[in-house]
Structure formats: structure tokens, C-alpha cells
Amino acid sequence: MNQLTQQTMTIKEFSNIMGTTEEAVRWHIRTLYPDLMRNGVQTRLNESQVTEIKKRMTATSGLVGAVTDLEMEERALSVMQWMNDRIQAQKLQIEEMKPKAEFYDLVSDSDRCSRIGDTAKMLNLTVGQNGFFKLLKDDHLIMPNNLPYQDQIDANHFKVVQKKIGSRVFSVALVTGKGFIFLGKRYKHLQKVEK
């Protein structure tokens, strides 16, 4: 037992500190600790008894701001428990988010790119491949010739490669890993809900 919990005080000291009458304190002692009151013997209260009596007294006796060490310890324990519960909840949330974060890192850092039509299929959009091209054009992400605007290339959402078919060279737009994530977030509301 530490020295703080061994401290005691008289009824008079308690009533002075708490701003209440000695008779009110005596009444609570008789109610809570009837064996403690004896004629001719000074009654001394330990901290746990003081705390319990204070809890039972009404706020009208001026006890609102008075706090014992035991009450402070109880409050501290309560706050520590609350913090511990929050930490545990956050750890669970982190565990739930880990696969998403790993997928995000994998896709965004990937050098692999996909064609715009394939991206529409991978994103599982309700609008289909042709609707996806129209969306990208309407949102000024790609031009009428299906190549991305320069700002989208600079943002690393798209990249343009040259494909040679026979003697002809064509420019083809590809969606980067970062672009896949960008488009997935932007058009999330259009994704098919799987049952």
C-alpha cells in the first residue's frame, strides 16, 4: 500500500475541505460505516471512505470541484482504458486496410499498363467499354482520337505507346497502375454491385 492511500482525516477536516457540515458527514458515516462511529473516540476516515462518502453527497453541498487522489486514480484508469480501446480499434482498422494498401502499392508502382477497354472490364463498370470511352472524353481525360490529354500523361494516369502494324505506326493509349486507381475512384459509382 502506498502512503497516499494510508492518509486519514477527521470529520471536521473532511467537512472543511468539502465545504459541508460535520453533521452531514456524520450522517453519511452512520449510513455507510456504522461501526466507525464510537462515542468518545475521534473518527478518522481513510481515502477510500472519503471518496465513497463524497460520491453519495449531493452537489448542493459544494462538492462539485473537490477531488480526492483515489478519484483521480479512478479517472486516470478510466481514461487509460478508453485510450486502450481506441488503440485496439485503430489496430483492427489498420489490419482491415492492409490488403487494400498492399494492392494500391502493387498497382500504383506497377510498370504494367492496360488498354482503356480492358481497364473498363477490370473496373467492372456498368457502362461497358464504349460508354467508358465516352465518359473519358466527356470528362476531358482523353481526346476525340482516344489519346489522353497531356495533363493526364503528366499525372501518370495514361501513357502513349507506338504500335506498328505492317508499315503503319499507330499511337495507343494505355492506363498506368496509378491511372487504374485514379479511374477506379473517379468512377466507383458506376461499378457493378456483385451479389
- Helix H, strand E, coil C: the string for the chain is CCHHHHCEEEHHHHHHHHCCCHHHHHHHHHHHCHHHCCCCCCCEEEHHHHHHHHHHCCHHHCCCCCCCHHHHHHHHHHHHHHHHHHHHHHHHHHHHHHHHHHHHHHHHCCCCCEEHHHHHHHCCECCHHHHHHHHHHHCCCECCCCCECHHHHHCCCEEEEEEEECCEEEEEEEECHHHHHHHHHHCHHHECCCC
CA-based nearest residue to 62, from 11, 13, 28, 18: 18
More confident residue, 13 or 101: 13
The pLDDT, as a whole number, for residue 192 is 81
Residue type, 179: G
Q: What is the pTM of this model?
A: 0.46
Mean pLDDT to the nearest integer, 90-100: 88
Q: Is the pLDDT of residue 108 over 70?
A: no
The pLDDT, as a whole number, for residue 59 is 46
Q: Cα–Cα distance between 120 and 183 in angstroms, integer?
A: 9
